């Protein structure tokens, strides 16, 4: 795994190499930046609205921590075949802190005019907007629909990919294969071991662009380990009282997990249509089987674009696979298992407007009417006794490029 120190050293070495190559006419560099200043509030204190990987979220009082971020990207070109890219983003992390992390740090080598090899920390291309998910200015919504983008808590991985691009009919086809491993911290205030790890990661994706239409689909698979003190305690307790089979099916230690997705975007400068579907399937019931989808439609009126979104999310209910004897001492154990394996769902109707107020600056207002199940859908920190009432979310952001 590439540690932060290793990544930093790689970047320093890359920049040093760039400086020594400055005399070469083929060398060039480019820096670009992006950011979002946002404010989000809901109409309830029964739960938190968060983006994936965040600890602190929005309630009635509102917060700027959910959507605010700033990032920068450095692109270095050494020769016509060799280049490097580094991207860092400062936003709320799994401990609730606003701090920078290295999202990308990789070398790119063109094996031919059609084929490119990359090595380092790379963006995971599982989603339609993976390449610019955190660049708010490039997206129609305030935030990517959580019904889909909350399914897999992973943005990047360490490894390599190879892509082949070529004209295909009237369009342009890109085939991409990847391999490596990943590690993502899980939101927690105290646990230092709360983390999602993916080993033996492999994936393949296809992107096709024709005119104003862009399509992307594919799948990734790997052996996932989900570590937290709470899950570890539950597994140990099940084994202690003789429920070894239950412990085995819940335990997420090298569980084979697959993520599939398919999406498309059409934008002719007037009409915007975008939709995406994704499904997560794991051998561990702690991760389970879940799917999500959304569809967005918008229309440009000069610098204004109103838009609407309808989205859904569902996690399969596996509680019927677990039966505990009706003994009071086992009730806390049964409740802990149910909290992991019971079904969950959510539907959201959203309406918003984007105003391109200035060059490279856009203001967005968005209202979401969310109907979660009694388990809270994609919300976190759901209070005991929550009855599944609807939640309204109100967001305002300023997206910018520099």
Q: How many CB atoms are located within 10 Å of the residue 81 CB?
A: 13
Mean pLDDT of the chain: 92
| Rounded mean pLDDT, 353-381 | 97
Count Cβ neighbours within 10 Å for each residue of 316-330 and write b for 16 or more, e otherwise: ebbeeebebeeeeee
DSSP assignment string, 64-85 = STTT-EEEEEEEEE-SSSEEEE
| Helix/strand/coil percent split, the chain, to 5 | 15, 50, 30
Estimate to the nearest angstrom the gap between the alpha carbon of 115 and the chain centroid.
Answer: 27
Does the pLDDT of residue 270 top 90, yes or no?
yes
pLDDT in tens, 289-327: 999 999 999 999 999 999 999 999 999 999 988 988 888
Q: Whole-angstrom Cα distance, residue 368 to residue 347?
A: 10
Q: What is the pLDDT of residue 9?
A: 52
Q: What is the pLDDT of residue 189?
A: 65
Q: Whole-angstrom Cα distance, residue 346 to residue 269?
A: 32
pLDDT in tens, 329-342: 888 888 889 888 99
Domain 112-401 maps to which CATH number in 2.60.130.10, 3.30.565.10, 2.40.160.10, 3.40.630.40?
2.40.160.10
Does the pLDDT of residue 390 top 50, yes or no?
yes
pLDDT in tens, 73-100: 999 999 999 999 999 999 999 999 999 9
The number of C-alpha atoms within 13 Å of 363 and in the hemisphere containing its C-beta is 5
Q: Whole-angstrom Cα distance, residue 87 to residue 92?
A: 16
pLDDT in tens, 200-221: 999 999 999 999 999 999 999 9
Higher pLDDT, 190 or 304: 304
Higher pLDDT, 185 or 10: 185
Q: What is the pLDDT of residue 22?
A: 47
Closest CA to 161 of 85, 225, 89, 253: 85
pLDDT in tens, 135-178: 999 999 999 999 999 999 899 999 999 999 999 999 999 999 99
Q: Whole-angstrom Cα distance, residue 51 to residue 49?
A: 7
- Tokens 């594919």 belong to 218
């Amino acid at each position: 795994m590439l540690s932060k120190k290793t990544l930093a050293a790689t970047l320093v070495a890359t920049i040093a190499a760039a400086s020594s190559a400055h005399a070469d006419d083929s060398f060039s560099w480019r820096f670009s930046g992006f950011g979002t200043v946002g404010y989000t509030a809901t109409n309830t204190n029964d739960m938190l609205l968060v983006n994936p990987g965040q600890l602190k979220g929005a309630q009635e009082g509102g917060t700027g921590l959910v959507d605010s971020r700033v990032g920068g990207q450095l692109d270095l070109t050494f020769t016509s075949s060799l280049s490097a890219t580094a991207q860092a983003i400062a936003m709320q992390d799994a401990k609730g802190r606003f701090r920078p992390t290295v999202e990308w740090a990789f070398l790119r080598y063109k094996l031919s005019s059609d084929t490119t090899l990359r090595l380092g920390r790379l963006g995971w291309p599982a989603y339609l907007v993976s390449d610019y998910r955190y660049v708010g200015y490039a997206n129609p919504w305030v935030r990517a629909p959580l019904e889909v983008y909350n399914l897999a808590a992973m943005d990047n991985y360490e490894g390599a990919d190879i892509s082949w691009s070529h004209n295909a009919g009237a369009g342009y086809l890109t085939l991409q294969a990847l391999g490596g491993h990943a590690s993502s911290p899980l939101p927690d205030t105290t646990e230092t071991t709360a983390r999602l790890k993916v080993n033996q990661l492999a994936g393949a994706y296809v992107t096709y662009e024709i005119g104003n239409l862009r399509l992307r689909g594919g799948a990734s698979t790997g052996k996932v380990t989900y570590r937290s003190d709470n899950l570890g305690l539950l597994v140990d307790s099940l084994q202690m009282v003789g429920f070894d089979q239950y412990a085995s099916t819940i335990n997420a230690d090298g569980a084979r997990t697959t993520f599939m997705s398919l999406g498309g975007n059409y934008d002719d400068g007037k009409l915007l249509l975008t939709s995406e579907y994704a499904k997560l399937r794991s051998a561990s019931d702690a991760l389970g089987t879940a799917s999500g989808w959304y569809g967005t439609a918008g229309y440009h009126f000069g610098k204004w674009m109103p838009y609407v979104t309808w989205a859904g999310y569902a996690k399969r209910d596996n509680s019927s696979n677990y039966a505990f004897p009706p003994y009071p001492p086992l009730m806390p154990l049964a409740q802990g298992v149910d909290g992991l394996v019971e079904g969950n769902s959510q539907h959201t109707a959203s309406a918003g407007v984007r105003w391109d107020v200035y060059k490279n600056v856009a203001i967005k207002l968005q209202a979401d009417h969310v109907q979660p199940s009694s388990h809270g859908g994609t919300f976190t920190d759901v209070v005991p006794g929550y009855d599944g009432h609807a939640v309204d979310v109100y967001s305002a952001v300023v997206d910018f490029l520099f």
